[in-house]
Structure 1
Amino acid sequence: MKPINTALCSFGMSGLLFHAPFVNTNKGFNLYGVLERTKNLAQEKYSKIKTFRTLESLLKDDNIELVILNTPNITHYNFAKQIIQSGKHLVVEKPFTTSVEEADELIQLAKVNNVKMAVFHNRRWDSDFLTVKKIVDNNTLGDIVEAEFHYDRFDPELSYKVHKETPTEGVGSLYDLGSHIIDQTLVLFGKPKAIFANIDSFREQSKVADYFDVKLFYSNHKVTLKSSYFVKQPIPSYIIHGKKGSFLKSKADVQEAELQRGISPDVKNWGIEPASGQGLLNTQKENVSVKEYITSEAGNYMVFYDKIYESIRNDKPLPVSAEEGKAVIEIIEAALKSNTERRIIDL
């Protein structure tokens, strides 16, 4: 196995928690470098890592094969363009871009330069979503009638990260949180036929959206995607009703919390939810209502990197293609248009 020399474009929360630990522990990768303009935080944690002060100097290093683009949303298009033109493979943090136009240009550029480009929709490998997906894929509920997905928080204060509170393209909860549950919806149900959205902000002095209620219309069912920063008492994050019954599941994936505690993702029993997070399945069997708790699937973001390795070394499919990342942006753009024009948008 020839390890892939990999560099990170930043070492904030994303680099510290969601990328470096997996690159560092996966034998298919070598955590080679990081872009830090003034600090040396990565080097303090990973002594052998090489620190770059500019993107230009990082891209000039021929030892680097893969770049993780985990900088603010507004920079994705410009930075990705430079990375692709340097001939290096890349993983772009979600959301892929701020517009479909940008996504199309990057996809074409990657093809011309024979570059592998994936989008980091890691929430496909959350334990809660994997459990929901198993229920849907197994047709446990029969034909789906309605689904409602939430990504809620209780966080009334503005973020200390200025770029997250500055009203520019790609900013707001629909891009930051919505992209997760939009991608999950597309994985489960494919592209909807139409969309209606209500997007707002409720935090004091907030200049960016912190609330959304998005309705997705399919031929035979409907999906609601919601997020608010003022949900003190959580409700189930996944509510699915079908013609055979219902399934309710909380957002109980433990991976982020374990990473925050410094637990390495290569430990035994990684990503195992507590029993309290089990989903409730309520179905009808022989005219009798049967309620049962379903053991959750194990979450594992490492699968994403295993698939990246296989794609680069053995030309296997990417874990999340750029086209799939673009599909999320298409939904976001339609939602923004719907909110502005106060009408249903056909897709």
Structure 2
Amino acid sequence: MGEVLRVALVGYGLAGRVFHAPLIRATPGLALHTVVSSDAGKVHADLPDACVVGDPQRAFADPAIDLVVIASPNATHAPLTIAALQAGRHVVVDKPFAIDLREALEVAAAARASGRLLGVFHNRRWDADFLALRALVEAGTLGEIAEVHSHFDRFRPTVPDRWRERAGPGAGLWLDLGPHLVDQALQLFGVPDAVQADIAIQRSGAEVDDYVHVVLRYPRLRVILHAGALVPGAGVRFAVHGTGGSWFKHGLDPQEAALRAGGVPGGENWGVDPAPGRLLRVDADGALHDAPSPIPAGDYRAFYAGIRDAIRDGTPPPVTLDEALDVMRVLQAGIDSAAGGRVVVP
């Protein structure tokens, strides 16, 4: 099977506990060795055999650790990533890997100087619905794509008391869900020519943005990225229109809900989306054909399997540093566009 890589996980909040720890433990060739947390009892309730330390520097300096995973609040991503890289560790950092482009470039420089792997957790490349859309685009089924609507809506009318909802660096919906939406768009269509963004606060009592509507401009194509906190029900996830037809998908990939419910990655029916897409085609006679469009199973473990192979075998990482920087350039362009009320070139 090859060498088992020992992992230190920094942070045991939502991202660390719900996403990273289960995925690390479910990936052959990875072993969750250490968790950095101020609440050892919380960690040991789930992971009785884990070593728990309160200081991330202790984990970075531990020669037993091969890979550090940063799942702490966004504002700490860059300094912790740089420290872990300088300690000689490979690093996976949750998205966004920095709070702005300037900070992202500093992290990238540290990664290149260290000679270590830096992977950014853009896990939604392995959403079931995105895999289906990617296959349709690559096969040319929809012809030349003209218009894409990519939504990530939720219904949270009451503002939760958590760091993502409090005023401060790295908070807000654009830096929470925006990285997912942007990364998926760039994977399909590349970096846009320009970005136009409307980022706002809609809920009473909210301190940070909870509404984003961002248009990525290509020569003819328009990609609309949208996220809101006041959208109940299984709304549209994708609506894609091209010269060969349209594709629609409602509801979110099931993996996050399964992880929140304590599901084990790779278990029975893991990543199987119960809601198929809809493919609409118009034939030569002008007749409209509307048929279900199958959705392959998604699997976030593919990210960590790719990280394992990149470290152990030297294969290309699942998310390259250049790809992660491109996401940050578009995120920064969105911030600048919304602040200045203008179109920005990323």
TM-score category (smaller protein):
over 0.9
Q: Is the 8 A contact 2:272 2:297 kept in 1?
A: yes
Aligned to 2:77: 76
**Mean Cα deviation higher: 22-31 or 177-186:** 22-31
Q: Is it true that 1:232 corresponds to 2:232 in the alignment? A: yes
Cα distance in structure 2, aligned partners of 1:245 and 1:266: 34
**Mean Cα deviation higher: 317-326 or 144-153:** 317-326
Q: CA deviation at 1:52?
A: 0.7
Aligned to 1:207: 207
Aligned to 1:320: 319
Q: Is the 8 A contact 1:7 1:33 kept in 2?
A: yes
What secondary structure, in the 3-state scheme, does the structure 2 residue paired with 1:280 have? strand
Task: Give per-residue Cα distances to partners, 1:145-179, cap 9 Å, x unaligned.
Answer: 11111111110111221x22232222110010111
The one-letter amino acid paired with 1:69 is I
Q: CA deviation at 1:69?
A: 0.3
Cα distance in structure 2, aligned partners of 1:233 and 1:29: 37
Q: CA deviation at 1:298?
A: 0.5
The one-letter amino acid paired with 1:115 is R
Q: CA deviation at 1:23?
A: 1.4
Cα distance in structure 1, aligned partners of 2:263 and 2:157: 29
Write the mapping of 1:260-299 to structure 2, written as runs, cut at 5 A.
Answer: 260-274=260-274, 277-287=275-285, 288-299=287-298
Write the mapping of 1:1-347 to structure 2, written as runs, cut at 5 A.
Answer: 1-161=2-162, 163-274=163-274, 277-287=275-285, 288-347=287-346
Unaligned runs of 5+ in 1: none
Cα distance in structure 2, aligned partners of 1:266 and 1:290: 35
What secondary structure, in the 3-state scheme, does the structure 1 residue paired with 2:215 have? strand
Cα distance in structure 1, aligned partners of 2:195 and 2:257: 33
Q: Is the 8 A contact 1:127 1:252 kept in 2?
A: no
RMSD: 1.3
Task: Give per-residue Cα distances to partners, 1:69-111, cap 9 Å, x unaligned.
Answer: 0100011111111101100001010011111121112112112
The one-letter amino acid paired with 1:182 is V
Cα distance in structure 2, aligned partners of 1:266 and 1:229: 30
Cα distance in structure 2, aligned partners of 1:322 and 1:169: 22
Q: CA deviation at 1:314?
A: 0.5
The one-letter amino acid paired with 1:298 is A
The one-letter amino acid paired with 2:296 is E
Q: CA deviation at 1:38?
A: 3.2
Q: CA deviation at 1:324?
A: 1.5
Cα distance in structure 2, aligned partners of 1:179 and 1:322: 14
Cα distance in structure 1, aligned partners of 2:165 and 2:14: 17
Q: Is the 8 A contact 1:132 1:249 kept in 2?
A: no
Task: Give per-residue Cα distances to partners, 1:289-346, cap 9 Å, x unaligned.
Answer: 2111011110100100110011000111111122222211111111111112111112
Q: CA deviation at 1:46?
A: 1.8
Cα distance in structure 2, aligned partners of 1:308 and 1:145: 34
Cα distance in structure 1, aligned partners of 2:78 and 2:23: 24
State the TM-score, normalizing by the size of structure 1: 0.96
Cα distance in structure 2, aligned partners of 1:100 and 1:311: 25
What secondary structure, in the 3-state scheme, does the structure 2 residue paired with 1:34 have? strand
What secondary structure, in the 3-state scheme, does the structure 2 residue paired with 1:158 have? coil
The one-letter amino acid paired with 2:166 is T
Task: Give per-residue Cα distances to partners, 1:114-156, cap 9 Å, x unaligned.
Answer: 1100000101101111111111111111001111111111101
What secondary structure, in the 3-state scheme, does the structure 2 residue paired with 1:281 have? strand
1:94–1:234 distance in 2 versus 1, CA, 3 Å: same
The one-letter amino acid paired with 2:295 is S
Cα distance in structure 1, aligned partners of 2:47 and 2:90: 22
What secondary structure, in the 3-state scheme, does the structure 2 residue paired with 1:180 have? helix
Q: CA deviation at 1:58?
A: 1.3
Q: CA deviation at 1:65?
A: 0.6
State the TM-score, normalizing by the size of structure 2: 0.96
Cα distance in structure 1, aligned partners of 2:15 and 2:307: 18
Cα distance in structure 2, aligned partners of 1:259 and 1:227: 21
**Mean Cα deviation higher: 336-345 or 306-315:** 336-345
Q: Is the 8 A contact 1:77 1:106 kept in 2?
A: yes
Cα distance in structure 1, aligned partners of 2:250 and 2:240: 12
**Mean Cα deviation higher: 99-108 or 125-134:** 99-108
Cα distance in structure 2, aligned partners of 1:2 and 1:251: 39
Count of matched residue positions in the alignment of Structure 1 and Structure 2: 344
What secondary structure, in the 3-state scheme, does the structure 1 residue paired with 2:40 have? coil
Q: CA deviation at 1:268?
A: 3.3
**Mean Cα deviation higher: 41-50 or 125-134:** 41-50
Unaligned runs of 5+ in 2: none
Seq. identity, % = 33
